Each structure stands twice: as C-alpha cells, then as structure tokens.
Structure 1
Amino acid sequence: MATSSPPPPSTLVNIGTHNLCLYTRGPSPASSKSPVVLLVPGLGTSTLVWAGVIRLLPSIRVYSYDRSGYRKSEQSPLPPTAENIALELSLLIKNAHIENPLILVVASWGGVIAREFIARTGNGPHIAGLVLVDANHERTLQVLDWTNTDLRAVFTGIDSLDAMGLRSEHKLTPQEWQAYEIDEATEKHQLQEAKEGEEYPPSFETLRRKNLRAREQPLFGDKPVFVIMGLTARDWEGQYRVGVEKGNGTEEQRRVAREMIDTANDKNEILQKEHLALSTRGKFVLAKKSGHFVQLTEPEIVADGVGWILQELSHST
C-alpha cells in the first residue's frame, strides 16, 4: 500500500550472508503495478555515478544500491562474478520487498549483470523495461576488447578522468563530483574494483554458455528496451594522446592501439544495436557528446530513456 511518508534515503538490507546498502529516492508508487527504476552501475563503480540521472527523475521512485564491497555495503563471501552479483541483486530486491515492476537502468558491465539477472529470475511481471547505457553483452570482449594489453600499455599511468574529459564535461554538482572522486580513491573501493576486475573477463564466457541469444523468442519479449551508445573512440583518443605524450608503449603497441581507436565506434555500434534483439520493441540513441560514461556527461539521455519506457508502457495498458 502506498504511503505518503518519505522513504529513508538509505538502508542496509540483509541478504542472508551480509548487508547491502539500498538508496531510495522519489515518491511512493501510485499502485503495486506502477513501474519503479532500479539503477545498476558498471565495473568498479558505486551508485554515486548515477547522481545526475537521479536528479532528473524526481517524479518516479528510484532505487540504487552499492554492490558488495562498495561504500556502505559489506564484503560478500562470494567472488564478484556477474552471476553472483545477479544472485545478490535478486536477494536484495526480495528482502527489501521491492514488488513493483522494474525499469532496469544498467551501464557498461551492468548489461551482463542484467542478463544474468533475467537468466536467474525469468522475464516475469517483475520486469517492466530496460535502459542500456553503453552496456556490455556476451560478445563485447570478442568484438571490442578494451582490456587488450597493447591498448592498456599505452594508457597506463595516466589520469583517465582528465584524459577522457570527464572532469570538465560531467554534469554532476560540485558536491556530487567531489563525493564521486573521494569514493573512487578509497582503499575499500579500489580493493573491490580489483576483485571485480579479476572476475570481469570470465563472466562473459559464463554468460555465453547460457546461450540466451539462441532462444527463438526475444529474451524480453515485447517489453520496451532503450539502447544508448557512447562514442568509445572519444575516450580512447584522449587517453592515447596523453599516453603517447608520456612515452607509453612501443611503436607496435601504439599501432595496435591506434587501429583499435579508429574502428572502435563502428564496432561498438554493431554491439549496441545487437541489444535491440532483446525485444520486439526497442529504440536506439547515439550520445553524440559522450564517451562510455553517458550517465555522467549526458544524464538527460538516460532520463529520456526512462521516459520513453514509461510512454511505451502507457500505450500497452
């Protein structure tokens, strides 16, 4: 039953093995059938990355959370694979009694986590729609491997936030950005980010073995899917320039990195448009002023995605 009292801004939810921190913003849903938003960040990222998006969604209940090991959430006894993260997310939703249909808004590695979540829970009434923010899927590292050792050699030891232009182009308030940077620099954050980094590549193979792409029917049926593509080459170009100025990489490593940069946007477009096969009802949008972190530099596009999902849902009722 809806309540007029404001929700607590954050609460620790026991999922059986440890506590996860859940953040709640926005008004109570009008009914048990009203969609709510659930934000899932990417690799090595806490809920602070969504601050700009949350401010643009004042009229709908928005949930976000810190994965195990980040900020107020406790360490998990399980390794942070996408499969285990999806398990913990399902337990968080259950134990927090979030019963309204979810508009999942996921970024980067969150795309793999979302697919693992659907593989675990099914495409039932608990799912309303999906907003994919330059998100990964099964084939991402096969087509556009940003972990490539030659690329990393050129990018090593640089300030990536500056090189990618995020410090100057983000849409967070000064207070929100300060909180984001302080959190990224903490020992707790960096430890968990390293743990996730180890589990990141194998998580793709685990998902591929489920063979979700081979299903005759789209994984999301006719539920609306909004796909946002960032310009990968925009980020990589800035990092390449700074890396070369520092003398990073051999000539061969620079050649490989340059080739990857020159083809990155075309390859990413192929990957992002493959997300449209998740549903019979989808929309593709290019974030022309953003690299990978669209939620930081063009949060309004993410908010527009939620608005489009709600509009499509209203047409279905």
Structure 2
Amino acid sequence: MSSSDLHPNGRLVNIGTHNLALYSHGLSPSSPNDPVVVFISGVASDALNWQAVVRQLSPSVRTYTYDRSGYRNSESSPLAPSAENIALELSLMLEKAPISNPLILVGHSWAGILIQEFIGMKGTAQIAGLVLVDANHETAPLVMNVNDPILWNEIAAGIDAYSAWGVRSEHKMTPEEWDAFEAAESTDKYKLIAHKEDVEQYSQSFETLRMKELSKRQPLLGNKPVYVIAGTRSRDWTGLYNAGVAKGNGSEEERRHVKEMIATVDEKNAGLMREFLKLSTKSELVFATKSGHFVQLFQPEIVIEGVKWVLNKRTVSA
C-alpha cells in the first residue's frame, strides 16, 4: 500500500522496520507549543473506534488517530504485539512523523497499560495531559476477571457481543462510519492481529507493567491534568447474561456466578478508576452511566468533554 491509497487525511509513517498508518484531523497547530491529541485504541481495536469522537471535536483541535501494527492500513510488525513493543512503536511513529508538540493522550481500555508503558519508556516531558476512557489499570486482573470463562464460554456462548452490549443499536457513528468499522473487523488481517494481542499478549502485560513499579512514583505526571472516565461494566455483562439466558445457556450455578459478578463489577471498576487519579495532583473522575466499556461508541461527548477539560486545565496552569 502507498500513501495515495489512504484516505486524504492519512499517510504512512516509516518507523524503520515497517509503515504505520497515521490519520490527521483538524487544523495544524499554529505553534510548536500548542498541544495535539493522540488517540490510542484498546486491545483488538484500530483507529475507527474513535470516529464519532473525532468527527464531533472542534476542528480547531489537532488530533491524530493511527492503526497499530497489523491493523487495517498499517503493515505487520516483526515484533510480537506486547504492550512494551506497542509503546515502542508509538514512540517511533511520533518521532518519525514527526510530532513534537505537547501530547494529550486519549486511551481506551488496554491503552491504560500502553500509555503507562510509553511513560515508563519516554518519561512525561512531552505529555500535556491524559484522558483515560474506562482504561485498564495495572491491578485490574487482581480485582476483576473481564475474561471470566463461565461468562464467556458458558453464558455468552454463541452470543454476538456487539448486539448484546447494545453497540449495534445505540452507537453514535454514522451509518458509513459503522460500515467501515464492521468491514475492518471482518477481515482475516484484523482477526490475526486481534488474536495475537488479545490471546497471546493481553493478560501478561499487566504483570509486566506492575513489575516496573511506576505506581510507587506517584504523582507520575505531577500537576499535568488527568481526566478519568469510568464506563458502566455491568451494562455490558447484563446484556450478555440476558442474551445467554434467553438462548438457554448456562446452568443455574453458572448463572448465579455471573449475576454475582454483575452485582459487584461497577464498584470494583470505580475503585480501579480512582487509582488513576493518583497519576496527577490535578485529576477528575466522571462516570459514563449510559455506556458500557466502549464509552467512545455510546457517549462520545464525554470523551470530548475530557479533552476540553485537559486543554482548559493546562491553559489555566500556563
């Protein structure tokens, strides 16, 4: 693929071993001191899950989305898609692009791990602030099991997750954006890299990060603004439970197990989100009560408010 094959706002960035697809949105910054926004997707996700957010953000804000190695318009990497390697490739892309402005990093789900790996590798000098969208905290697997086998292998067996979660019916993308999103996830290329990330790398990435003990260096970002958004995890799991029960899935004991999980997951997740507040002396936590885990699909306006909050707090500090 060449840059001419991409959407007009996209280009290929050579990071030395292969090319990554980078997409620009909004006006170019007028000064090297103006912050820019970089969106980082969660596990098994490409740039397209940010479409509704990017479309509704003010065009005066310069934003970037990108496809990680192996997704959509990016080439495959010779490296395994570990959180450390993904953070390395992100840093190389920013360097080669080049993007040297202060960065507001907006990350969903696994990007909570990716961003902290990036910070551990590059430090915080270029970071202007963070927006964490129901992000994964390094201690999350010690608190709740989002890959619980009874939930997924028994209760949710044969269930289409996007339908059960309400994503298909309630997402805020345009029809064209949703078609592109679905088309990308239906390809063999997507399925290959999604499996490598989700099955081969995801679980171990939490312990790898914990061993670096970044949490002992709080506030890691000093007074740089951090906006934390908590999704309503029980919404997703209830959708899976109801769809599974309607299909006749699960024994009574298995159903009881999942109902107990649902009853406690939001409190557990809120506790994890509060841990992120320690990253900065200037932090805020909001709850996306009408969203499951994919807040950017259900309530993109909350993500946009987070970006505005960070920009405002940064301006006040300056």
TM bucket normalised to smaller: over 0.9
CA distance in 2, matches of 1:238, 1:36: 36
CA distance in 2, matches of 1:253, 1:117: 39
1:1-317 matches, within 5 Å, as 8-57=8-57, 58-124=59-125, 126-153=126-153, 154-197=155-198, 198-215=200-217, 217-317=218-318
CA distance in 2, matches of 1:253, 1:211: 36
Which residue in 2 is equivalent to 1:4? none
Q: CA deviation at 1:245?
A: 1.9
Question: Which AA in structure 2 matches 1:80?
Answer: P
Question: Which AA in structure 1 matches 2:165?
Answer: M
- What is the DSSP-based 3-state SS (H/G/I as helix, E as strand, rest coil) of the residue aligned with 1:203? helix
Q: CA deviation at 1:151?
A: 1.6
- What is the DSSP-based 3-state SS (H/G/I as helix, E as strand, rest coil) of the residue aligned with 1:85? helix
Q: Which range moved further: 136-145 or 45-54?
A: 136-145
Contact 1:106 1:114 in 2 (8 A): yes
CA distance in 1, matches of 2:105, 2:281: 17
Q: TM-score, normalised by structure 1?
A: 0.95
Contact 1:8 1:24 in 2 (8 A): no
Which residue in 1 is equivalent to 2:4? none
- What is the DSSP-based 3-state SS (H/G/I as helix, E as strand, rest coil) of the residue aligned with 2:39? strand
Q: CA deviation at 1:312?
A: 0.4
Question: Which AA in structure 2 matches 1:79?
Answer: A
Q: CA deviation at 1:168?
A: 1.2
Question: Which AA in structure 2 matches 1:45?
Answer: S
CA distance in 2, matches of 1:76, 1:237: 37
Question: Which AA in structure 2 matches 1:39?
Answer: F
Q: CA deviation at 1:254?
A: 2.1
- What is the DSSP-based 3-state SS (H/G/I as helix, E as strand, rest coil) of the residue aligned with 2:61? coil
Post-superposition Cα deviations, 1:234-285, rounded to whole Å, max 9, x if no partner, equal 0000011111222323333222211111111111000111110000000111
CA distance in 2, matches of 1:113, 1:27: 27
Question: Which AA in structure 2 matches 1:204?
Answer: F
Aligned-pair identity (%): 55
- What is the DSSP-based 3-state SS (H/G/I as helix, E as strand, rest coil) of the residue aligned with 2:11? strand
CA distance in 2, matches of 1:152, 1:8: 40
CA distance in 1, matches of 2:193, 2:256: 33
- What is the DSSP-based 3-state SS (H/G/I as helix, E as strand, rest coil) of the residue aligned with 2:168? helix
Question: Which AA in structure 1 matches 2:147?
Answer: T
Q: Which range moved further: 103-112 or 149-158?
A: 149-158
Q: CA deviation at 1:141?
A: 1.3
Question: Which AA in structure 1 matches 2:94?
Answer: I
CA distance in 2, matches of 1:158, 1:30: 49
Q: Which range moved further: 177-186 or 126-135?
A: 177-186
Question: Which AA in structure 1 matches 2:42?
Answer: G
CA distance in 2, matches of 1:86, 1:157: 34
CA distance in 1, matches of 2:98, 2:286: 33
> Structure 1 regions of 5+ residues with no counterpart?
1-6
CA distance in 1, matches of 2:248, 2:74: 39
- What is the DSSP-based 3-state SS (H/G/I as helix, E as strand, rest coil) of the residue aligned with 2:238? helix
> Structure 2 regions of 5+ residues with no counterpart?
1-6
- What is the DSSP-based 3-state SS (H/G/I as helix, E as strand, rest coil) of the residue aligned with 2:136? coil
Q: CA deviation at 1:8?
A: 4.9
Post-superposition Cα deviations, 1:57-76, rounded to whole Å, max 9, x if no partner, equal 22211011000110000111
Q: CA deviation at 1:288?
A: 1.2
- What is the DSSP-based 3-state SS (H/G/I as helix, E as strand, rest coil) of the residue aligned with 2:128? strand
CA distance in 2, matches of 1:81, 1:156: 28
C-alpha RMSD of matched pairs (Å): 1.1
Q: CA deviation at 1:20?
A: 0.5
Question: Which AA in structure 2 matches 1:214?
Answer: K
Contact 1:221 1:279 in 2 (8 A): yes
CA distance in 1, matches of 2:131, 2:239: 27
